[in-house]
Structure 1
């Protein structure tokens, strides 16, 4: 607490990853009471939207330029295009890996699940990296869920740290406690006590499967694979 800042006013908006929705940063405008104007809030929101659009545009351009390098020549090998920060832009086969990968640019390698290390190739112009890995590893990825002492669970998967929402965290715990699988109706009872339609649960499950990948969360019934 500082008395001199009591007169300050702020308008701020988050900058989120356009693909994963993870928080990347924020834009803040701080000043006197004039900042309390709705126009200032509209300004920072517009700036945030422009930043997110620029990130998405650069990723799409990167995917387009290096699409031919990602396509597999060997069905046993998975490939992935990463941006400079290790964010997965595109993959072949689709969805075998996603999110953000831990990179070691000194060793020119990436660390996947269980400490599995694979080489990466730096792309022209230092725009990103190309990763290739044996799919015999990727076909049965190790999944670790951390929930104790947390409001929102963290999933560690193939070198990635994926943060779940509160609802996704609850679903992940349900799946972990029911290895043989559960239906949408059963999840609805666990979460809402029959007060919500299974359609709502299916939408939540769809988002979770998209986030973690179809090789991690199965359907019919819903379960960890």
Structure 2
């Protein structure tokens, strides 16, 4: 269940009141939130809003800390992707460090002022242990993108808000550097807001990877770099349900579950606990024995030199097709990104980490194609299985073709037909169409 299918805010607040006033009452909310509430109760977080998050840093030392923080390099990128939209839509966007301290809070002036009254402000600590269930803090706690809607916040001081946040990782080590967040009204509790935040985090990671310096190469006596056996991993998971993994001269076609595990490990970077991996793979509670059995079988396929445990990790650098698309988009190479995009990531997978990344990458690519105004790219998008039922893309194509062109009239007619035929979200239409065409 995602935030778009959550009960109304009044029902969430009633569930919150039952939980905090009745000891032993099981939380009647989705699993992600229920687990967070239990952590908050165990940590003695106050649910009544009487204790606001502490202001951890003053303006003076915050300025120096922000200047040297790794995410300072991608703040302009966050501003381009989220800042203007937040200001126009009455929202706030924030960037925090790995501990949950908010480093930058920007957006609509009135919204920023309201947020400051609950200490959602620069220098405040919004970790889950200090602020209760909230998107930045909970995203850092579970290591993945999350949405928190209204009464899902553990502190009632935040019940008027909804938020979506995603951790940002060092592309070289997988270590969490911080978190990016959108906070505002009910429109934040929607798939597009979640996709925007996830896409911003991916774009930031791609930009950090692009601008980081490679380690020096040690030359041999002949002045050339010594030859080394290829130890990297190539992973293809776009447009296919069985991922292909190439390593040490062998190609493995993975099962659906093993594909999800490998993609999750590639997305999370280096090192993930079994508990977190279980949450990434299923909204339902997964018994530890089930996950261990799957990982044992996967290790038998890949070998112990590739799949590590405690924590679980892929032990060699991974070059994934979905990461390559994100990097090309971050570099502004929309044409190359579209050419590399073979379809949705593991299209039939329902693993939360895969679904979130699949939606975010498609949203990012689609936005870049539509924003380009290039009829050639738009035509390639609507000619593909995943874009054939995208009414907005057909409208953009019609708008950017020469006036009087028969193709322009045909594109406009196709857009109109799709508008009248479907009454569900466009992304859901595109994904269902892809599954149908690919033999589901």
TM-score (norm 1): 0.37
**Structure showing the higher helix proportion among its residues:** 2
Comparing both structures, which one devotes a greater share of its residues to strand?
A: 1
